Amino acid sequence: MAKQPPHRDPAQDAPHVGPPAHAAAGLPAIGHTLRMAADQMSPGRVLATLRKVNQQGGFDCPGCAWPEPDKPHLAEFCENGAKAVAEEATERRITPEFFAAHPVAELAERSGYWLGQQGRLTTPMLLDEDATHYAPIGWDEAFALIAGELTALGSPDEAAFYTSGRTSNEAAFAYQLFARRLGTNNLPDCSNMCHESSGSALTETLGVGKGSVSLKDLYQADLIIVAGQNPGTNHPRMLSALERAKRAGAKIVSVNPLPEAGLERFKNPQTPRGLVGGGTKLTDLFLQIRLGGDLALFRALNHLLLTTPDAVDEAFVAEHCAGYREFAAEAADLDRPATLAATGLPWEQIEGLHRLVLSSRKIIVCWAMGLTQHKHSVPTIREVVNFLLLRGNVGRPGAGVCPVRGHSNVQGDRTMGIFERPSTAFLDALGKEFAFEPPRAHGHDTVDTIRAMRDGRVKVFFAMGGNFVSASPDTDATEAAMRRCRLTVHVSTKLNRSHVITGARALILPTLGRTDRDVSALGPQFVSVEDSMGMVHSSRGGLRPPAPDLLSEVAIVSRLARAALGPQDPTPWEDFARDYDLIRDRIARVIPGFDDFNAKVRRPGGFALPHAPRDSRTFPTATGKANFTVNPLTAPDVPPGRLLLQTLRSHDQYNTTVYGLDDRYRGITGGRRVVLVNPADAAELGLDDGRFVDLVSEWKDGVERRAAHFRVVHYPVARGGAAAYYPETNVLVPLDSTADISNTPTSKAVVVRLEPIA
């Protein structure tokens, strides 16, 4: 088994701890942005690039999926978006000489940070069987090699096609078509580890697995509850929207085990007040909930609403909802001690929120990974839906569900059919358009793909972007599974760990990113993306690509499809690669809401996809109504002497891409191997601040999972919980510890013991 990269290189990882910040952005963010960008690019390129982020006619920020306002600010990007752009637009290059100089075994010992710092990939590279180094390979040879391996499989289901959420709509549509023409629904994606719990809960209850609000709704809301999300770091532009809502009179409640600086106060760098003044206080009520306590909180709120006269919108419930009677019967009782234990909140705070709810006509609940990565995530989000339905807060202005998506096009990829469990309607439409019979059996999601590779049932692993071995749970198990494959292939912009933990043979196929100019034989092409609020718009990169013969993702899929499916396949792959309009014409015919796609996508600002609950209060569920559900109280069970660990993001990373070693708002600099522990818990465990510990995860399979050498930081996290960064801690997340129904790894709930290092 591959050794994990060095546990601690004192020069690289020596965390310093200062006081956490109480406000986000402001002047320091601007300075930080420019320094990071200048590190990767010349000043002219910095300006040329940042000027085009999120502007009409420019490119979609490869950072998060937060929507652009109608009239984008001249600098409609944020510190962290700028880092994402700089990471991609860097002028550093990885050439064949780099691979000749570094054996793969050596690269596997390097940190992910180091790998990412080497620059953009420029040449297709092959690691042949028993070779020690990657060597250059031509594009045609590479496609022939993959086609050969695919053809040799006993069944197309022995291949899996992963997608990370940056892939454009056009590339995603072509990619899923290729997989299905080949004959498999094995289309795992990063969403399986991300908002799958939201999709599952929302599809069952509302009939659409996406958010129901637009930016305009946020500006009109009376109350916005932000639960399990750290927008100051992960969706910084959301703070501008919250600020605007706040100034229009909204109250904001944050529900989080950590006091996150961005939610406390926001210094908008686009306004004079934000640059030199005190900024805007955002949070009116902070509920410092225990990890996994949200189901208990929303159940308690629902109980209070049900027992308050006139609190329920009875007309809405009668006309639009099903399952109310069963739900109300179950929620009539409240186990107050269990609620207090699960939430860790004083009862008065829950009552305080109840009062705020009663005085608010229009309510929005926003959430992200703090709600989706628990064993009971689907019931938790269903209970959030119950809460909103009770007072008719779905399908009218200023109200609704707002799962805040992660990757910039993760929502669009799913809309395009990147899903291991596609609907019958989708497959029927796809089959009709392309005159074939798509496979009907469900495919593997991310966790099942790992199991299948481990068991030898999947032999070819192909990834459209992402960093599968570092993003997936149970790093050692996942790496062992990858190594069992016949062939692993990565279409990537940057080098990462998944390229050096390989199957018997491996390919790296370099590709264009969002910022790069994409010119086909026909001329300049553009792509499209869908944001977290269902707006679709175009994205056009403007930079000279890092190497002359880089292919776009669309071109890679098209040429691979031709090689693997043969000349007899009637799909016009060559035309698709030349002219993305032709792909969009097909999307328009297969996917609802995309009619007239080519015209609508050219409108400034793009267009909104239909959303039945939002648009017409109709609910395409099994009952034809919005469904109340019964969700018994459950909360994580942590044995004495143990803590529940959540794995989260620092301010200087984008998922597995580490930009730097600081987490500015949390006061941590110069290192990432830290574990945040409440001082009272630390005292009970006898752990002084500054002590070094190993994190050891305890799971019922008895396997010891250990992440070595973390500095204990006394930090105001909710009691009983701890926090440390992903991906260093993925080694601790057991493969089989997943959410019920959605099968999402429980990245926010890992039982650990902290073993002091002598």
Ligand X SMILES: Nc1nc2c(c(=O)[nH]1)N[C@H]1C(S)=C(S)[C@@H](COP(=O)(O)OP(=O)(O)OC[C@H]3O[C@@H](n4cnc5c(=O)[nH]c(N)nc54)[C@H](O)[C@@H]3O)O[C@H]1N2
User: Is position 721 an interface residue for Mo ion (rule: CB under 5 A)?
Assistant: no
Contact between residue 656 and residue 496 where contact means Cβ atoms under 8 Å apart: yes
- Under 8 Å between Cβ of 376 and 634: yes
Specify the residue, 576 or 726, whose C-beta has the smaller distance to ligand X: 726
Exactly one of 15, 20, 58, 63 binds ligand X (CB under 6 A); that residue is 63
Cβ-contact 583, 525 below 8 angstroms: no
Residue number, 65 or 242, with CB nearest to Mo ion: 65
Residue with Cβ nearer ligand X (294 or 479): 294
Partner that binds at residue 493, options ligand X, Mo ion, none, CB closer than 5 to 8 Å by kind: ligand X
Query: Which residues is 735 bridged to in the sheet?
Result: none
Give the residues across from 539 on adjacent strands.
527
- Residue 506 and residue 304: Cα distance in Å, rounded? 57
Among 17, 146, 159, 194, binds ligand X (CB under 6 A): 194
Q: Confirm if 313 and 365 have CB atoms less than 8 A apart.
A: no
Judge contact between 472 and 194, C-beta under 8 A.
no
Find the binder of ligand X among 156, 417, 443, 513 (CB under 6 A). Answer: 513
Give the torsion sign (CA, 140, 412, 658, 449). Answer: negative
Q: Where are the alpha helices (DSSP H) in 611-660?
A: 612-616
- Classify residue 39 as exposed, middle or buried by CB count within 10 Å of its CB (0-12, 13-18, 19+): middle
Residue 658, phi then psi, degrees to nearest 5: -95, 120
Residue 13 structure tokens: 């990882």
Interaction with Mo ion in 174-203: which residues (CB under 5 A)?
194
Specify which residues 510 forms β-bridges with.
Answer: 492
Nearest to 450 by CA among 467, 473, 466, 470: 473
Q: Which of 234/343 has CB closer to Mo ion?
A: 234
- The verdict on 227 binding ligand X (CB under 6 A) reads yes
Whole-number Å distance between alpha carbons of 181 and 435:
10
Give the dihedral sign, CA 498/500/506/507. positive
Near ligand X by CB under 6 A: residue from 302, 493, 697, 746: 493
CB of 424: closest distance to ligand X in angstroms?
A: 27
Dihedral sign of CA atoms 29, 32, 38, 39 in order: negative
Which residue in 17, 146, 289, 752 binds ligand X (CB under 6 A)? 289
Contacting residue, 256, 415, 678, 742, with ligand X by CB under 6 A: 256
Rg (CA), the chain: 25
Contacts of 171 (CB under 8 A, 6+ apart): 464, 527, 552, 553, 554, 557
State in Å, rounded, how far the first CA of the chain is from the last one.
27
Minimum CB–partner distance for residue 149 and ligand X (Å): 20
Closest CB to ligand X among residues 321, 350: 350
Q: Which residues contact 356 (CB under 8 A, 6 or more apart)?
A: 223, 251, 253, 284, 285
> Whole-number minimum distance, CB 433 to ligand X, in Å?
25
Closest distance of CB 236 from ligand X, Å: 7
Alpha helices in 119-271 (DSSP H): 139-152, 169-182, 196-206, 215-220, 231-234, 236-247, 261-264
Decide which of ligand X, Mo ion, none touches 60; Cβ closer than 5 to 8 Å per partner kind.
none
175 makes contact with ligand X (CB under 6 A): no
**CB closer to ligand X, 611 vs 664:** 664
- Which listed residue (183, 292, 541, 613) binds ligand X by CB under 6 A? 292
Residue 721: its H or E element: strand 721-725
Binding mask 558-597 for ligand X (x = CB under 6 A): ----------------------------------------
Which region, judged by CB under 5 A, interacts with Mo ion, from 302-310, 374-382, 406-414, 750-758? 406-414
Coil, strand, or helix at residue 306? helix
Q: How far is the CB of 379 from ligand X (least distance, A)?
A: 13
**Residue type at 380 in one-letter notation:** T
- Among the listed residues 208, 161, 179, 707, the one whose alpha carbon sits nearest the alpha carbon of residue 460: 161
The stretch near ligand X (CB under 6 A) out of 179-187, 271-279, 436-444, 722-730 is 722-730
Tell me which of ligand X, Mo ion, none is bound by residue 393, counting a contact when its beta carbon lies within the kind-specific cut-off of 5 to 8 angstroms: none
Residue 169 interacting with ligand X (CB under 6 A) = no
* Residue 176: count of CB within 10 angstroms of its CB: 26
Length of the chain: 758
Site for ligand X in 609-668 (CB under 6 A): 646-649, 653-657
Of positions 58, 228, 403, 720, contacts ligand X by CB under 6 A: 228
Nearest to 364 by CA among 320, 331, 395: 395
> Is 466 near Mo ion (CB under 5 A)?
no
Give the residue at shortest CB distance from Mo ion: 406
20 contacts Mo ion (rule: CB under 5 A):
no
338-377: which residues touch ligand X (CB under 6 A)? 368-370, 374
**63: contact with Mo ion by CB under 5 A:** no
Among the listed residues 174, 557, 733, 739, the single contact to ligand X using CB under 6 A? 733
| Between 190 and 427, CB nearer to ligand X | 190
Among residues 382, 494, 666, 714, which is the contact residue for ligand X, using CB under 6 A?
494
Q: Of residues 58, 274, 400, 466, which one binds ligand X by CB under 6 A?
A: 466
CB 403 within 8 A of CB 211: yes
| Smallest distance, ligand X to C-beta of residue 210, A | 15
Pick the binder of ligand X from 166, 584, 586, 625 (CB under 6 A): 166
294 binds ligand X (CB under 6 A): yes
Chain contacts with ligand X (rule: CB under 6 A): 63-64, 80, 164-166, 190, 193-194, 227-230, 233-235, 255-258, 260, 289, 291-292, 294, 368-370, 374, 406-407, 464-468, 471, 491-494, 496, 511, 513-514, 553, 646-649, 653-657, 726, 729-730, 733, 747-748
Name the residues that contact Mo ion, by CB under 5 A.
194, 406
